[in-house]
Amino acid sequence: MMVGITRWILRVPAPYDYQWRIPLNPQWQDSITEASPKGPIAVAANGVPIFHYEARPDVATHIEHYDPESDTVVQGELDHCGGHAGQGDDYHYHYVPICLLDKHDLTAPIAYGLDGAPVYFGTGGTDYYGNGKYHDANHLPNTSLDDCNAVSDGNGGHKHYTTKEPPYLIGCHHGKVDPSLRIEPRPMRPQGGVGPYGGRVGEASTTELTNLTLDSDGWYQLEHRAFSGSGTSGIRFRRTTDDCYDFDFRENISQPGVTESHCR
């Protein structure tokens, strides 16, 4: 988790307790609904939310509006599993949750859209995403996918497939989406705040995230190449209450740094 990111927004993957109510029987619509650029559009089989690849929260997401400059998948903002810590200091995917394939039964959906539509693995493995293990895996149907990355299920409904190319998972919804399901955790640190040793919170900074560990005392340690260009820096964080965390921002990962406490 988090390893491999080269454009980091200084957020951390602090655990967050989600409660999802995904429809078991989707309400299929005659017209499609554009996927939201803000908040989740699906939930992976492991319960982790999946967001659209679009980094901007206020733009149209139909594939005809695709702009690689705001595609988190190609801009170095995601780890080898297709996820990152977002603006809510939460971990979520923007791409195929490729690391689930290590244990997932590919005959079962790898995710479900917020409208209840199943999402099956089609393609998605690359030399980076999945570390090359699933580069040649292809479970796409013979029928061409529509703009939503979906095909008819033959029973009046639709099912999506993941792809290496945009829109990757869900380009739009064939079913009715309950907007209340677009759960977004509140950020713990203000957007645009200056990091204690470089960068701005919520804005992409060039570095490389190299390791994430959890010790027996409950401290997470997220390491990255120092903004100064040499050595390893990092953030240590530990949950203190349901909504609050202690932080230790270290310019040199082996030495104590600036300590702060933040809450959602």
Q: What would you report as the CA-atom Rg of the chain, rounded to the nearest whole angstrom? A: 19
pLDDT above 90 covers a percentage of the chain that reads: 92
Q: With contact defined as beta carbons under 8 Å apart, do 89 and 239 qualify?
A: no
**pLDDT tens-digit series, residues 248-263:** 999 999 999 999 999 9
The whole-number pLDDT of residue 44 equals 98
pTM of the full structure: 0.95
Residue segments in the chain with a per-residue pLDDT below the cut of 50: none
What integer pLDDT is reported at residue 135 of this predicted model?
Answer: 93
- pLDDT tens-digit map of 209-230: 999 999 999 999 999 999 988 8
pLDDT in tens, 88-121: 999 999 999 999 999 999 999 999 999 999 999 9
State how far the Cα of 28 lies from the Cα of 106, in Å rounded to an integer: 24
pLDDT of residue 84: 98
- Identify the pLDDT of residue 19: 87
Sign of CA dihedral 99, 88, 210, 79: positive
How many residues comprise the chain? 264
pLDDT at 229: 83
Q: Label the pairing between strands 158-161 and 118-120.
A: parallel
The whole-number pLDDT of residue 184 equals: 86
What phi and psi, each to the nearest 5 degrees, are found at residue 92? Answer: -150, 165
Q: What is the pLDDT of residue 228?
A: 84
Q: Which of the 8 DSSP states describes residue 211?
A: E
What six digits make up the tokens of 111?
A: 């995710």
